[in-house]
Structure 1
């Protein structure tokens, strides 16, 4: 097919382009799942990817309650609580009393948890930077802008003032 015909915006061409995009997202998701699984095992052999996600979310939040964690991750509070207990038993996180609400606890990484997380992430550290090393800043900026637009549900290039 000549290049000019590829750029004609028909319903069929748009559907084909979206299917190709979905396929690339599927490959990217598979890659991220593999990285998460490998990192989870480096933190603690046998640690499930879901527990790793909870662990890294606690790390990002620094101090968080189980309720906030389950809301943020869109997970059942009971499931989060069970996973938190597992992470506690492994010595990766600890609970402290919430000064704002004596009925709840704040979760945070222990020094061991911080050390294990850093060690688990080490093999991927800089991977994105190395992957994008030959990309132009314009291309990186465009990808960032387009991903933000896709995640926000807005048309690329539109602003709140439009």
Structure 2
């Protein structure tokens, strides 16, 4: 039975709508996994997607500790440390002393890492812009607002999400 075959806001219609949304999220996640795997291989053949995610997180943070990476990515510190070593061995990241804590160090991309990341992302650059080219600004804004509300766990339009 489809969503439209139920009454407008019945529990069955809501459950069907949520299942349809879940299926679309599954497809989107599969697409993102494929992109991450392709990008990881462009950065360095054989680079695992998990190491690529750590690499891109370091790029996004600019300078970050292993502890912060572990917390942010919900990963074991030892696992993150192993991937960091791999990225360092490939010359993609470097570590420097943390001026605020002499016991730790900060990670950042090397110039090679910055160049490799830019080259890996090049095929996707503009893809979202092209995909949304015919969407109205209102639709893009609504999608952004709704995704923010979903990610924040708030009701769309409530003051907590504004």
Taking structure 1 as the reference length, the TM-score comes to 0.94
Match of residue 131 from structure 1: 131
> Where does structure 2 lack aligned partners over 5 or more consecutive residues?
none
Match of residue 38 from structure 2: 38
Number of matched residues? 161
Mapped to 1, the partners of 2:99 and 2:131 lie a distance apart of 44
Relative distance call for 1:7 and 1:120 in structure 2 (3 A) is farther
Write out per-residue CA displacement over residues 97-144 of structure 1, whole angstroms, 9 at most, x where no aligned residue: 111111111100000000000000000001000000000000000101
CA RMSD between the two structures: 1.8
Q: For 2:159, what is the secondary structure of its paired residue? A: coil
Relative distance call for 1:100 and 1:30 in structure 2 (3 A) is same
Taking structure 2 as the reference length, the TM-score comes to 0.94
Alpha-carbon shift at residue 157 of structure 1 (Å): 1.0
Match of residue 155 from structure 2: 155
Mapped to 1, the partners of 2:112 and 2:136 lie a distance apart of 39
> Where does structure 1 lack aligned partners over 5 or more consecutive residues?
none
Mapped to 2, the partners of 1:93 and 1:70 lie a distance apart of 16
